Amino acid sequence: MDPRHQARTPDSAPSNRADSDRADSDGAAVAGTAGVHCAALSDFIERSPTPWHAASAGGDLLAGAGFIELGVSQDFDSPPEKGFVVRDGSLVAWSGLPAAAATATRMIGAHTDSPGLRIRPRPDTGRAGLRQLAVEVYGGALINSWLDRDLTLAGRVTVSDGDSPSGLRTELVHPRGPLLRVPQLAVHLDRDVNTEGLKLNPQQHLKPVWGLGSDSEGDLREFLAELLGLPSPESVLGWDLCAVDTQAPDRLGRDGELFAAPRLDDLCCSYGALEALMAAPLSGRPSLVVLNDHEEVGSSSSTGADGAWFAQVLERLVVGSGGDRSALLRSLSESEFLSADMAHGTHPNYPERHEPNHWVTLGGGPVIKHNANQRYATDGEGGAAFKLACANSGVPFQEYSHRGDIPCGSTIGPVVAAGLAIRTIDVGMPQLSMHSVRELMAVADIDHMVGSFSSWLAG
Ligand code: ZN
């Protein structure tokens, strides 16, 4: 095994490339783009190559700020005032609790998953003297961006463990260093690619190569056993593995005012929600954050926003605090949910793809998303409440409405609004290259996000 491919421990996170202002050749910082929160977001993204890592990294952040973790099946009687619970790739956290009597709560929701390539259960394959892994596309990935990138694997692996009551143990893995690559066909063998467009068949054209030789059954399982230091590959019983980019987040641009990273959608807003919660005053109204997995595939799962888990946690918190279901429902009727997911900045090379009265600028602050057909849940009153939060924190805001002749995307907002009957406002931070393996936003908007989200929870 390549020595770079070591199992990841929480302490092995790499140094953060975005943790200081860029330096010129004399070592002096380039002025003008402070980016107070850029370094911390970069670190969170590096620690979160998959939804399961993101939920774990979010828990680490919260624990470091004094939040107490409850187990998913733990008794929620008298829950801690600042606490969180993690289930698979999802997390719910709170600061202050919905009291027994109906209490209006402000919440922020975001999602931990991102589109990309997932490893199949029987992945070992190969052809033409190259070993390959079979993959399946997860969500609406911009799959051309995955070509010719140095990728690695990350996710969770379940192994047999005689010491565990279930006989199983699940570990997070993220071997460092390039391991996989999906090579693009040479232009000499695809002469029209630049004029006719790149056509990719997800079954045929996306299998990454990861070595020389012929395919051998059990290749990946052997690799995982080595990675985890297991005595035999037979101990590896299951996995949820993603292909992930190895390039670290970094600032770019004339003055370092842009930020390029994988999975900005929606680790950026996940980070912003956690930061705001950690800064929320305990004396104010209760605050909650939910980070859900599976948004990119419709949110319908045991831990997705369209599933029952979040509502169950809310009910357990209220009942555990001495309230009843009626108190929970009254609280929800007065509460407000900020659905935070990334937004489309106006692309300078494709301005005609955007609604001409609703252009969105990178660096221009959070975007309030509107859609009359409820692809976004924002209404006039909810949008106004968020505008007030922006004003109170000195943060500019922008308003988005999709072109009428292109189908509009959606996010967790409408499903949460429907599931909990709660006022919901869809907002997000502007970015380009949405669903690419590497996305782009403005450094200043990271600070705009934390400022406006904090103001929202405090409001
Ligand atoms: Zn998203």
CA dist 108 and 195 (Å) reads: 44
CATH 3.30.70.260 matches 116-245: no
Q: 156: part of which helix (H) or strand (E)?
A: strand 151-160
CATH architecture of the domain with range 38-114+262-458 = 3-Layer(aba) Sandwich (3.40)
Pairing assessment for the beta strands 151-160 and 116-127 based on DSSP bridges: unpaired
Structure tokens given for 364? 């221009």
Pairing assessment for the beta strands 151-160 and 439-442 based on DSSP bridges: unpaired
Compute, in angstroms, the gap from residue 337 CA to the centroid of ligand 1.
Answer: 16
Compute, in angstroms, the gap from residue 427 CA to the centroid of ligand 1.
Answer: 11
Compute, in angstroms, the gap from residue 434 CA to the centroid of ligand 1.
Answer: 8
Compute, in angstroms, the gap from residue 225 CA to the centroid of ligand 1.
Answer: 33
Q: Is the dihedral of CA 398, 404, 405, 410 positive or negative?
A: positive
Compute, in angstroms, the gap from residue 181 CA to the centroid of ligand 1.
Answer: 25
Compute, in angstroms, the gap from residue 266 CA to the centroid of ligand 1.
Answer: 5
- Compute the average pLDDT of residues 247-265: 97
Structure tokens given for 386? 């968020």
Q: Count of CB atoms within 10 A of residue 385's CB?
A: 16
Of the CA atoms within 13 Å of residue 43, those in its CB half-sphere come to 17
CA dist 377 and 107 (Å) reads: 15
Q: Is the dihedral of CA 141, 55, 155, 438 positive or negative?
A: positive
Of the pLDDT bands very low, low, confident and very high (cuts 50, 70, 90), residue 409 is: confident
More confident position, 60 or 318 = 60
Of the pLDDT bands very low, low, confident and very high (cuts 50, 70, 90), residue 297 is: very high
CA dist 66 and 227 (Å) reads: 33
Quote the distance between the C-alpha of residue 199 and its chain's center.
28
The whole-chain average pLDDT of the chain stands at 90
pLDDT at 34: 65
Q: Is the dihedral of CA 279, 282, 284, 288 positive or negative?
A: positive
**SS3 for 234?**
helix
Quote the distance between the C-alpha of residue 378 and its chain's center.
21
Compute, in angstroms, the gap from residue 8 CA to the centroid of ligand 1.
Answer: 26
End-to-end CA distance of the chain: 53
Compute, in angstroms, the gap from residue 311 CA to the centroid of ligand 1.
Answer: 21
Residue type (1 letter), 397: F
pLDDT at 26: 36
- What is the residue whose two structure tokens read 């380039």? 30
pLDDT at 18: 43
Quote the distance between the C-alpha of residue 30 and its chain's center.
30
Compute, in angstroms, the gap from residue 12 CA to the centroid of ligand 1.
Answer: 28
pLDDT at 99: 58
Q: Which residues pair with 368 in a beta bridge?
A: 399, 427
Cβ-based neighbours of 98, under 8 Å, separated by 6 or more: 105, 286, 314, 317, 318, 321, 323, 327, 328, 331
Of the pLDDT bands very low, low, confident and very high (cuts 50, 70, 90), residue 33 is: very low
Compute, in angstroms, the gap from residue 133 CA to the centroid of ligand 1.
Answer: 27
pLDDT at 21: 37
Extended beta strands in 58-150, E state = 68-70, 82-87, 90-95, 106-111, 116-127, 130-138
pLDDT tens, 182-239?
999 999 999 999 999 999 999 999 999 999 998 778 899 999 999 999 999 999 999 9
Of the listed ranges 27-36, 146-155, 199-208, 340-349, the one predicted with least confidence: 27-36
Q: pTM (2 decimals)?
A: 0.92
Pairing assessment for the beta strands 287-292 and 106-111 based on DSSP bridges: parallel
CA dist 258 and 245 (Å) reads: 19
- Evaluate whether 323 touches 100 at the Cβ level (below 8 Å): yes
Compute, in angstroms, the gap from residue 136 CA to the centroid of ligand 1.
Answer: 19
Compute, in angstroms, the gap from residue 325 CA to the centroid of ligand 1.
Answer: 31
Compute, in angstroms, the gap from residue 200 CA to the centroid of ligand 1.
Answer: 23
Compute, in angstroms, the gap from residue 173 CA to the centroid of ligand 1.
Answer: 24
- Compute the average pLDDT of residues 414-436: 96
Equal fold, 38-114+262-458 vs 116-245: no
Q: 157: part of which helix (H) or strand (E)?
A: strand 151-160
Domains of the chain, residue spans:
38-114+262-458, 116-245
- Compute the average pLDDT of residues 287-307: 94
- Evaluate whether 15 touches 46 at the Cβ level (below 8 Å): no
CA dist 437 and 144 (Å) reads: 9
- Compute the average pLDDT of residues 338-349: 97
Compute, in angstroms, the gap from residue 208 CA to the centroid of ligand 1.
Answer: 25
CA dist 412 and 339 (Å) reads: 6
Compute, in angstroms, the gap from residue 361 CA to the centroid of ligand 1.
Answer: 18
CA dist 106 and 289 (Å) reads: 9
More confident position, 416 or 101 = 416
Residue type (1 letter), 392: N
Q: Count of CB atoms within 10 A of residue 12's CB?
A: 11
- pLDDT for 389 beyond 50: yes
- pLDDT for 65 beyond 80: yes
Compute, in angstroms, the gap from residue 264 CA to the centroid of ligand 1.
Answer: 8
- pLDDT for 308 beyond 60: yes
Pick from 431, 425, 433: nearest CA to 459: 425
pLDDT tens, 150-189?
999 999 999 999 999 999 999 999 998 999 999 999 999 9
- Evaluate whether 252 touches 362 at the Cβ level (below 8 Å): no
